[in-house]
Amino acid sequence: AVGFRKKIVNFCGYVDTLLTADASNKENDVVNTSCKPSLESSRLEGLLGTVQQQVELELRNDFNTPTVLLLFSELVGQTVQYMNLLLKEKQQHPLEPVLAVREYVLRLLDMLGCRFAALLRVNGVNSSSSSGSSNRNNEEEQKKASAVVGLLVEQRAIVRSLALKMLKANPENKELKDLLSTCDQTRRDLNSLGIELEDLPGGISNWK
């Protein structure tokens, strides 16, 4: 959870850096907010549309949050690559797709209960100059995020433990095997987000 949050904060900070640099250097704009779409910007807009559709499907699929976070991570990664290109090839690519991705990611994180997203909307991100109040808010949000992950891990452990017990009595049950495969995939999804999950004997799972 911490790794994913850090990625989103760094992404939003990168966007804010571009905007700040552009505003303070009008004679040699870093970005262009009004130029025509380029091939790369069209690709990013297309990816955003695809991710939006996939996220909607996944949220309808038993609120598949781990997959949604993976989609977010891929979208952010591709957007960062586009921003790198934007800095390299000044005035050739519009900034609008980047802003659209930023707004979409924060809006969906709000919906998923990641309230730290609201903090990123207020005049950009600058952790080095955060006030004591903001730091306290961040700590509270980290506790809430940890509680959510803990609940997810606990529910997964219960499902996995029951499936293992039932599989002993019915080793050829395909549905139970599929359920265990889903549990394993959830562990891998969480690991890709920086959440290490360890399954222990007795149906217990730890995470960090």
Q: pTM to 2 decimals? A: 0.52
Token representation of residue 153: 């891990």
Backbone φ, ψ for residue 94 (5° rounding): -75, 155
Say if residues 179 and 158 touch (Cβ distance below 8 Å).
no
pLDDT tens track of the chain, all 208 residues? 556 677 777 888 888 777 776 555 554 555 555 678 888 989 999 999 999 888 888 777 766 667 777 888 889 889 999 988 888 876 678 888 888 998 888 877 766 666 555 555 544 444 334 344 445 555 665 666 677 777 778 888 888 888 888 988 888 888 888 888 888 888 887 777 677 888 887 777 888 7
